[in-house]
Amino acid sequence: MENSEKTEVVLFACGSFNSITNMHLRLLELDKDYMNGIGRYTVVKGIISLVGDAYKKKGLIPAHHQVIMAELATQNSKWVEVDTRESLQKEWIETVKVLRHHKEKLKASNCDHQQKSPSLGRKWTEQRQDSDQKESPRAKDERCAKGPSAV
């Protein structure tokens, strides 16, 4: 199966990550390997979304510290990055709302890879540019119409 026939997938890891560990990152890698190994999917991005202080979990490290630690942990990754939107909210928001937000952002940016968005970031743009150089114009048009899937 060619890449143009595969469904593009974005992996999400949402939660408190109190604090982020190598195993959190390893789980994303294992998920990516599994999804890519099935043969029907291509994982194009991993997003870590940390809860904010309003989550009020006992012993939760302040959100800004969580974000800094997660950004340091992912700084060398070519496909995983940290999104700060959820951690900056004044009230706790349900995970399904976080996922809906990202789904809309991904749909909006799917055909405009040059535009850099704070929640999608540099890595997304660079990876999309690399894959765009490898696909035919027809495949790109079909991909833009379909958009990436969120898992």
Residue 140 confidence class, pLDDT cut points 50, 70, 90 = low
Q: Are 46 and 61 in contact (CB under 8 A)?
A: no
DSSP state of 105: H
Residues 25-81 pLDDT 10s: 999 999 999 999 999 999 999 999 999 999 988 999 999 999 999 999 999 999 999
Whether cis (ω within 30° of 0) applies to the bond prior to 19 is yes
**Does domain 7-113 bear CATH number 3.40.190.290?**
no
CA-nearest of 104, 35, 46 to 78 is: 46
Q: What is the pLDDT of residues 13-22, one digit of tens each?
A: 999 898 899 9
Q: Which amino acid is at 51?
A: V
Listed by start position, the domains of the chain span 7-113
Q: CA angle, corner 125, sides to 120 and 127, nearest 5?
A: 110
The answer to whether 47 and 11 have CB atoms below 8 angstroms apart is: yes
Residue 12, phi then psi, degrees to nearest 5:
-120, 140
Kindly list the distances between the CA atom of residue 33 and the CA atoms of 14, 38, 43, 147, 149, in Å, as whole numbers in the listed order: 19, 9, 9, 21, 16
Q: Whole-prediction pTM value? A: 0.70
